Amino acid sequence: MGFTDRLGGMARAWVHVKTTELITTDRSVREDAGLRSDQVEHEARVGLGDQAVRTALPGLADAAERQAERRRLAEAEQVAAEQSELRALPRAQVSLRSSGTADGAVDAELPLRWEEVDGELLVEVLPLADARPVLDGHELTRLAFLLPEPARDGTWDLAAVYAARRASGLDDLLDWGLELGDDGESAWWFDPGAGPSTLTLADDCRRVSLALSLSGAAGRATVTAEITRAVPAAPL
């Protein structure tokens, strides 16, 4: 292999790991890529000489930096679009209590996504990133629950709802849960066998009473929430 081929091969290897180091959001991946980029650069200096490395790598580093900057801008635009969508949601008064491995309380007016799609009701409390209330030392990022039928006043045993849903081939516990911290770093999901879980809709679906038994990596938690919608329910 000629000098040019060796230089090109090492340069490509270096820019690959350097780009990974710059753009990844995974800390362990970033640290590993940083070590590998240093190793590739060291091997290039030993095998090809400092002058060749100085000639090849600065331009590649600039290219990697530009790529990383484009990635950061794209991510910032995506976050801004998501926050703009949340700002447009109607607000609801939320009174949330949690015990167990997530212990605390929240009383706040928060954005509420209330969606009926394909005959199912999905409800999500989604605080804005710059105004998240704190629960058990972590920012509240999401509280969600599902009713697999159109919204109407009534009371449901969510364990029975889940059992029926599972029998029909749908087994996604992520439709019920509590998430705290950035990217849901702490999360608890519906645990039908952990205790009573109920949902009550009243006053033409303006008032919601929720009790959820949850489990997560940290252990079990029990969440109760009273939600008062600020807008009338959609016609049934």
Domain boundaries, the chain: 3-85, 89-229
Check residue 40 and give its pLDDT: 57
Q: Tell me the two tokens of residue 111.
A: 């954005």
Q: Tell me the two tokens of residue 174.
A: 């992520």
Report how far residue 42's alpha carbon sits from residue 193's, in angstroms, rounded to the nearest whole number: 56
Low-confidence ranges of the chain (pLDDT < 70): 1-68, 74, 76-77, 79-80, 83, 171, 182-185, 231-236
Check residue 233 and give its pLDDT: 47
Check residue 84 and give its pLDDT: 80
Can you tell me which residue has the tokens 């484009």?
70
Three-state DSSP class for residue 196: coil
Check residue 49 and give its pLDDT: 45
Report how far residue 227's alpha carbon sits from residue 12's, in angstroms, rounded to the nearest whole number: 55
Rounded to the nearest 5°, which phi and psi values hold at 8?
Answer: -65, -40
Check residue 174 and give its pLDDT: 74
Check residue 225 and give its pLDDT: 97
Check residue 42 and give its pLDDT: 57
Check residue 21 and give its pLDDT: 54
C-beta atoms surrounding 208 within 10 Å: 24
Check residue 230 and give its pLDDT: 77
